Amino acid sequence: EAEVTPCLSVVVPVYNEEAGLAALFARLYPALDQLGTTYEIIFIDDGSRDRSVSLLRAEFEKRPEVTRVIILASNAGQHMAIMAGFEHSRGAIVVTLDADLQNPPEEIGKLVEKVREGYDCVGSIRRQRQDTAFRRYASKAMNGLRERITRIKMTDQGCMLRAYSRSIVDAINSCQEVSTFIPALAYSFARRPTEIEVAHEERHAGESKYSLYALVRLNFDLMTSFSLLPLQFFSMVGISISVLSVAFVGFLFVRRLIYGPEAEGLFTLFGIALFLVGLTLFGLVLLGEYIGPIYHQV
């Protein structure tokens, strides 16, 4: 039986989503049937410990021609799960979507339309974001920081309902990143990016799979994966302080020659300590200078 390559691949990471999967299936398949294009849905189970895997398996048996399931051995995180999905995707257009129905599947058509118009990276902006106030403010702050320290321009980095052309997905697949942020990585390869507004809903069932710690980690990855600025900033601070400390040690030494020992030799001790601090900071700067080019190469 010859396999037909689908036009559209929809990639959905799933982590402990047993409570909401039935509702997702009930809306996602009809929404894609409506588009009148061939499609495949790739679910990636990201090491769930609930019944998600058996629910996905049952759905695969029900619609094997349009459903594919990847089961990861352990929890690798949303973005690595999406990477796994990308590697197995075949569509000329690839859409990412959350499993909790916060991204309405009915919006996929609009994204696909944009890729067909010739945009290779279609971002989205959540019209009225349905999340806690803390999440909304924290996201706004991180979005602003990312906008300043990286070259990536995105209005709403957190919205995962996005579409990419095959060339972008191939470029991502060639990356072999171990920790990344898919929308930013995709943007860095885009030649013709655009953004559209999409609706946003409250999580249909269950709770957010991101702990505060996981959110902090994710944002650290985003900043350090796409910018050298934090490292360069620290190098500059290190250089300034080590130069100042050496100058101060010189000053204390001259005083020692002119006035003899002061404060029972305490100043000399100070001088030695400061010199060592300066040396250590300078060493860190040197490390940064070596690590920066390695980062670029990777």
Q: Which residues bind Mg ion (CB under 5 A)?
A: 98, 100, 102
Question: Rounded to the nearest 5°, which phi and psi values hold at 163?
Answer: -125, 145
The sheet with strand 39-45 has its strands ordered as: 67-71, 39-45, 8-14, 93-96, 162-165, 121-126, 193-198
**Angle at Cα 49 formed by Cα 11 and Cα 86, nearest 5°?**
20
Judged by CB under 6 A, the residue of 156, 209, 231, 252 near ligand UDP is 209
- Min CB(157)–ligand UDP separation in Å: 11
Q: Does 162 bind ligand UDP (CB under 6 A)?
A: no
Per CB under 6 A, the segment of 70-78, 107-115, 194-202, 224-232 that binds ligand UDP is 70-78
Enter the DSSP assignment of 64: T
Nearest to 87 by CA among 20, 203, 171, 180: 171
Judged by CB under 6 A, the residue of 81, 142, 152, 274 near ligand UDP is 81
Q: Does 183 bind ligand UDP (CB under 6 A)?
A: no
CA gap 205, 20 in Å, rounded:
5
- Min CB(103)–Mg ion separation in Å: 8
Q: Which does 8 bind (CB under 5 to 8 A by kind): Mg ion, ligand UDP, none?
A: none
Enter the DSSP assignment of 5: P
The smaller minimum CB distance to ligand UDP, of residues 138 and 175, is found at: 138
- Min CB(139)–Mg ion separation in Å: 12
Tokens of 158: 């957190």
Q: Which does 86 bind (CB under 5 to 8 A by kind): Mg ion, ligand UDP, none?
A: none
- The set of residues, in sequence order, having a beta carbon less than 8 Å from that of 102 and lying 6+ positions away, is 130, 200, 201, 202, 203, 204
Q: Does 86 bind ligand UDP (CB under 6 A)?
A: no
CA gap 132, 47 in Å, rounded:
26
Judged by CB under 6 A, the residue of 13, 85, 238, 288 near ligand UDP is 13
Q: Does 98 bind ligand UDP (CB under 6 A)?
A: yes
Binding region for ligand UDP (CB under 6 A): 13-15, 17, 46, 75, 77-78, 81, 98-100, 102, 203, 208-210
